[in-house]
Structure 1
């Protein structure tokens, strides 16, 4: 009978134990993915968002970006129009991109009150506009100042204070922590101990991957945002059992680091070392514990 494993087959007790561990990890991931799917299937659509007092914060990647009173990024949709103002996002679209209500909206620091207006939606509510463009929140932004909606579908963009699209800024690369091991752990306030690479970047797992057999299902456009983690010198790691680490050969022949048979990635949406903006994206991306399990 043919067997699959993530490391060369060696008929030792250690090899048998590693094989069992890989099979166990896959079972855990399948359960997690199934739970996420059920939650998505039964979840309610997002409700319209209250604007509060708008303000501006300067993103290292995008420059000045408009946020609502709770600090969440506001977006504009290329399929809308500003002259005259009109929203073309309804139904499922509005569930993913909740319209920002005009009622109670105020211009805070950095926002020109003369650019604020409103447009009547099909359901009778009035949506806030900026320079004529209807404004939205993104349901996948789970914390203030996240910009996970930037560039989604090539039509959604963070709103700059003048109503134009916030664009990527030329910037110096953020300084990397010095003297970090090639792979180590860090204590995260929300998720506990998680794994990072030698540049201080948080590493992630993709629940659509498999560990038995080991396989990455992040290909094509997925790789534009999620970069495979490179191999490391096992003598230069801290806080992780080197026996859990192994190389995975991708379809293009490149090597990717895996932990407990799960391929590892870093996220281009993390602006600086220590960021974990990829946590929970699409319900399939999560930070990783030193034992290879998902950190939620």
Structure 2
């Protein structure tokens, strides 16, 4: 069925195929065998179970064992500090160097915490009492909010502050990106992030070398079952796409260090526009929790970080 469809398409739209071939810069058809054209990702190919938490996960990113130490973190923040993170830029920490977080489901105007019960065990609220501003922290941004249990929680620019039960030592940022709703706080109360990263740029990874990252510094990946010729085709759908979100379109002018030839977008069957590098569809990985993570590298033997020229870094049979 796949072969007849492709043959019919090539016969019916030879001119269009020629245009796409030129646009994608392909001089010959891709090798067959290793790439299952148009196939949906099989179970295990997209990293099921990676970054999903343990069997005792309470649904808030921490399990019962983690929560045993959470009570110890429910102490005064002391003198706040600003820590420089290579992945996140300026991060707000407490007096002991522990990262402070904010929750997207909270509100800052007016200040309101939406994290109670098991959530508060995984993400201990930072008490307002005893918190002091330090160099780099505007004292005027510090405040408090009354929680449902009557306790006062520290706020920064209105955002309630938390620690994370899985951060066990100063400098840990294990809570970054958990559930897509928890983020390290900048000194301003905004989400900590490296400023002014282009839509796509190149980062030198100590193990992988030069790899492409998105505007948030997250590693960009290729799926070996995708196709780039005669036009981009994504084989990652359904549950696969939930694990490996498609990178949204990026202007060629909003890139740095990435090969600009054949930098293009295409429309997926679900109507979503997806970015490509050298015509290959690109993705991020939900198992990567912070900028610099490369947990998707080699997953299922089909997922690899992207080199600046679009090739899969470390793939056994890279083009």
TM-score by length of structure 2 reads: 0.45
TM-score by length of structure 1 reads: 0.48
Q: Compare the two structures and name the one with the higher strand fraction.
A: 1
